[in-house]
Amino acid sequence: MVAAATHAGAACGGGEDDSSADAASGASADLSEIRDRAEKMPIDQRNDIDKRIGITVERVNKEATAKGQTTVAARLATEFDMTTEALLDEKGEHGLSLGEILIARTLLANSTAKVTLLDLLDLRSDGLGWGAIAFGLRFHMEDFEDAIKAGGRIAMGLPASRLRHDH
């Protein structure tokens, strides 16, 4: 179903995202706790993970340029249980690339914290990279990277070797 990663000690199977419902109800994570943990991630580890996932982001964005935004968005939308139109609207509304949408949606789909897309964008605007945000959300970095790579393969139209980590 959706690309996935694992949190410390627990699978992230139940990470349904309903950002609009969370936003409407006011239910959102305490970003200060996430931010504090993210900032404790060693800088060399931050740079390393951001560099590696950046390669996937670049590949997804190149695929979108080569094959068309709608084609790649449709592949990702299916994985994140969204319509292509909703994913493209989200991309346009927030000024994100499809590679960034892949990362954000992977985090939202697998986080046990009640974060929304706007929460993630707030953390990004604070200067945190995607890897640090995943660390702040208690993702295992190897599993996070594997999930991003699997999502990248889906965006490229290839079979993903690793999807949601369910027991």
Give the mean pLDDT per block of 10 residues along the chain (167 residues): 40 39 52 95 96 96 96 96 96 97 96 95 96 96 94 90 47
Residue 17 lies in a domain: no
- Helices and strands counted in the chain (H then E): 9, 2
**How much is the pLDDT for 160?**
72
**How much is the pLDDT for 20?**
42
Residue 53 lies in a domain: yes
Burial class (CB in 10 A: 0-12, 13-18, 19+), 101: buried
Residue 2 lies in a domain: no
Residue 27 lies in a domain: no
Residue 5 lies in a domain: no
**How much is the pLDDT for 159?**
80
Q: Please provide the DSSP assignment of 63-99 as one string.
A: HHHHH-HHHHHHHHHHHTT--HHHHHHHHHHHT--HH
The range of the structural domain enclosing residue 48 comes to 33-155
**How much is the pLDDT for 2?**
41
- How far apart CA 61 and CA 131 sit, in angstroms, is 18
Residue 26 lies in a domain: no
Residue 19 lies in a domain: no
- How far apart CA 97 and CA 69 sit, in angstroms, is 10
**How much is the pLDDT for 28?**
59
Residue 164 lies in a domain: no
Q: Looking at the 3D structure of the chain, how many domains does it have?
A: 1
Tokens at residue 7, please? 């949190």
